[in-house]
Amino acid sequence: MARLLRTLRSSQPVARFQRCCGLFPADSLEEYVVKNYFYYYLFKFSAALGEEIFYITFLPFTYWNIDHSVSRRMIIIWSIVMYIGQVSKDILKWPRPLSPPVVKLEMRTDAEYGMPSTHAMAATAISFSFLIATMNQYKYPFELGLVAAFVFSTLVCLSRLYTGMHTVLDVIGGALISAVLLVLLYPAWDIIDHLLLTSPFCPLLCIVVPLVLCYNYPKLDYYSPTRGDTTTILGAGAGATVGFWLNNQYAAPTYTSRNFQLGFPLITSKIVVAMLARFFVGIFVVLSTRQLMKSVVLGMLGYRYKFPIGDLEARRRLEVEVPYKFITYSSVGFSATVVVPLLHKLLGLM
């Protein structure tokens, strides 16, 4: 068993997988040589399914076009799973694969530790929580949903090997941790959902608890983007949760899912147009909110702590990074769940 674990933690299996998929180290000034562009683009796309661009589009899409309860459960599970994954990295401090022999296609996350793979955790959590939340509400073959969830999570997991960012053990560990958390949290889904919608303490707790966790994030000897990424995730989850509570308290407009009750194959072109309209209007507001709040919050913090907005080192300081990320992304979450639905109603898109 110990020998197997050492093998799974080593860089050699990752390097062999890359070569099997047509990715090789370069002998010249190039960083790497691609001999199979199908795998290259497939796994580069799959890796993006674990990045901010996917979270900021897919999670709001489910809220605007599918079902509020499904979206709420996915966001809560995603926030919990990602926090545990990020903290685990900086507690375990397992290094990423060595390069060489591995070819690394990403540089930003190379400063982070490897175990567990939060891409694998997020992909497993999102795909299977979506399956669990929808299988009893909508008419579609369960086997199809199961295969889709498995394929989605598998592609993201394999992409972390292809891009050279994780060992096999990192990926397996991330997927297993996420699966265990899903099993443990599933019995409490309805209770958590009810409390988040009805408790008068929900807004306060949803802001204070994540902020305390962010300010008390495990300290490292050097800067790592994990604290900033964790603050982004918890901030978005906090803002969205406050929006859920506010909508429930004041009977805000809700999206109907009646179009889906007869089964996904019967979705008409009119429904598709409405869904796309809601999505593009919503994503414009969300991205605009993010850009606006980034500028405003950074400007205020720069004035408070006397640093220029372009000073990257200053932006990495605890007293700057945490409020900057948290306020920006909690505003994004709140905008997606409160402001966008009101705008949809005003435009007749509900």
Residues 21-42 have pLDDT tens digits of: 777 776 644 577 777 888 888 8
Helix axes 318-334, 269-305, angle to 10 degrees: 150
* Residues of the chain where predicted confidence (pLDDT) is lower than 50: 28-29, 257-266
User: For residue 263, what pLDDT is reported?
Assistant: 47
Which two structure tokens, joined as six digits, stand for 129? 């929580």
User: For residue 18, what pLDDT is reported?
Assistant: 77
Helix or strand (DSSP H, E) at 33: strand 32-34
Residue 110 DSSP class? G
Helix or strand (DSSP H, E) at 224: none
Helix axes 189-198, 68-92, angle to 10 degrees: 110
Residue that the structure tokens 């605890």 belong to: 318
User: For residue 67, what pLDDT is reported?
Assistant: 81
User: For residue 251, what pLDDT is reported?
Assistant: 63
User: For residue 261, what pLDDT is reported?
Assistant: 45
Give the torsion sign (CA, 224, 302, 320, 329). negative
Residues acting as catalytic residues = 119, 166
Give the torsion sign (CA, 75, 78, 83, 84). positive
Cα–Cα dist 122/89, whole Å: 14
Other CB atoms within a 10 A radius of the CB of residue 250 amount to: 8
Cα–Cα dist 193/277, whole Å: 28
pLDDT tens digit sequence for 226-270 = 888 899 999 999 999 999 999 888 865 555 544 444 344 445 677
The pTM (predicted TM-score) of the whole model is: 0.86
User: For residue 110, what pLDDT is reported?
Assistant: 62
Residue that the structure tokens 């997606």 belong to: 336
Query: Per DSSP, what are the bridge partners of residue 34?
Result: 23
pLDDT tens digit sequence for 84-109 = 999 998 888 888 887 777 878 777 66
Cβ-Cβ contacts under 8 Å for 2 (sequence gap 6 or more): none
User: For residue 1, what pLDDT is reported?
Assistant: 63
User: For residue 177, what pLDDT is reported?
Assistant: 93
User: For residue 258, what pLDDT is reported?
Assistant: 46
User: For residue 272, what pLDDT is reported?
Assistant: 81
